[in-house]
Amino acid sequence: MNAPAELRWAAKYPELGTGPIPVEPCVSPEFFEKERQKVFMKTWLKVGRVEEIANPGDFKVKKLAFAKTSVILIRGKDGQIRGYHNTCSHRGNKVIVETGEETFGRNKAAVVTCRFHGWVYNAEGKLVQVPEEEKFHACFEREKNSLTAVHTDVWEGFIFVNLDPAESVVPLKEYLDGIGTHLAGFPYHEISECFSYYTYLDCNWKVAHDAFAEAYHVATIHAGSFPNVFSSGLQNVELFGPHRTTAICLSLKNDPTPVAKIANALATGSLVARRGTSMLPPSVNPERREDFSFELSVLFPNLLLHISEGIWFTHQFWPISHNRTLWEGKYYVRPAKTNSQRWALEHAQCLQRNAWLEDTATMEDTQTALESGAKQWMHLQDDEVLIRHGYHALEAYMETK
């Protein structure tokens, strides 16, 4: 079989190679443990938005199963957001008992209290009250029993943590580098109404991740929800260290259905419509293409961030084991001002939800088939370059000492 005349992404990024990708990273428990230590315990991970804890004393607890911990994010009276392991310094109980993957609360005094014995910590993590403190022995020093801090920083309203126990780590801005600049300036905070979904999948986190990181599958998997809507080819692929981005474009040959056309005229809630460019950063869709739908960006290791005119959404893939993943999808639109706009947004969200159901429906079958051992390699085509780059970036982390 002759090769296509133009393999543009292989030509642009020859360092990624063109060979098949091994299956082992998706099925090996040993690889997962190494990956957990070298990647997820060492990199910056998005765990929230500043709007979720907008006021002093607001807190959020985020479970991180891969690290066997949960993290308390709390906004202090000084307005700063800090992060701590959710572990009491007394006998190791959880300071805040979670009610789900994400738990929210508020304390006017900006303190958190362990329910077991009532130890109280302020927003700076300091231990400020110990019941019956006089009964502790001379070796006990309150100032040495603060909460264990977690590196915490904010970019464009996104809260990130880094679980590396080292005193200093690569700063978040430096870690994001070019991708941070590429996606900066978008009005994330203004597009605030969130449709949120999650599910547990019996597959490796990369199997889940990769199903969202290409458009090759759109014509087949999304034939029901988005028939002949998107182009399978990627545009404006750019690599930024371990991060990557591309434009996903529309097929302009097909008009939306009559119902979708009405909904699109009422509110900006659907990706299946021609979009403007007024709020896009200059580096996103720089040619201001008429067929541009959204920017698909991957922030290594596990966050997909998509931006479009009037819409943004994320996918995040949290590893639980070598063949189990928590998927979280969040879709943001401007709040409806009228009942007709509410209907239009709900219509758009039903289409998007159905598409995500179509995506997630493939993942567990992929994992089962890979674990059979029938195949040792995965072959990627040129427009699956984001997946290829993902394994390239992962390999670089795995080889670090």
Percent of the chain residues topping a pLDDT of 90? 84
Instruction: List every span in the chain annotated with CATH 3.90.380.10.
Output: 180-398
**Span 309-340, pLDDT tens digits:** 999 999 999 999 999 999 999 999 999 999 99
pLDDT of residue 3: 47
Asked if 313 and 329 touch (Cβ cutoff 8 Å), the reply is yes
How many whole angstroms separate alpha carbon 313 and alpha carbon 196?
10
Asked if 311 and 333 touch (Cβ cutoff 8 Å), the reply is yes
**Span 355-369, pLDDT tens digits:** 899 999 999 999 999
Average pLDDT over residues 290-299: 94
- pLDDT of 5 > 60? The answer is no
Average pLDDT over residues 382-394: 97
Tell me, what amino acid is at 160?
F
Cis upstream peptide for 301 (omega within 30°): yes
Strands 127-129 and 324-333: unpaired
How many whole angstroms separate alpha carbon 48 and alpha carbon 133?
35
Instruction: List every span in the chain annotated with CATH 2.102.10.10.
Output: 45-168
Domain 180-398 has CATH 3.90.380.10: yes
**Span 167-195, pLDDT tens digits:** 999 999 999 999 999 999 999 999 999 99
DSSP string of 206-228? HHHHHHHS-STTHHHHTTTTSTT
- pLDDT of 1 > 60? The answer is no
Higher pLDDT, 85 or 6: 85
The domain at 45-168 falls in which architecture? 3-layer Sandwich (2.102)
Widest CA span in the chain? 82
Strand partners of residue 303:
299, 316
**Span 111-129, pLDDT tens digits:** 999 999 999 999 999 999 9
Structure token digits, residue 256: 């939306």
**Span 66-121, pLDDT tens digits:** 999 999 999 999 999 999 999 999 999 999 999 999 999 999 999 999 999 999 99
* Alpha-carbon dihedral sign for residues 126, 130, 134, 139: negative
Q: What is the mean pLDDT of the chain?
A: 94
Q: Which stretch of 276-280, 365-369, 372-376 has the lowest confidence by average pLDDT?
A: 276-280
Percent of the chain residues topping a pLDDT of 70? 99
How many whole angstroms separate alpha carbon 21 and alpha carbon 29?
18
| pTM metric for this prediction | 0.94
Q: What band does 4 get if pLDDT is binned at 50, 70 and 90?
A: low
Average pLDDT over residues 27-42: 98
Helix axes 385-398, 205-212, angle to 10 degrees: 150
HSE (CB half, 13 Å, CA atoms) of 358?
17
**Span 198-247, pLDDT tens digits:** 999 999 999 999 999 998 888 888 877 777 778 778 999 999 999 999 99
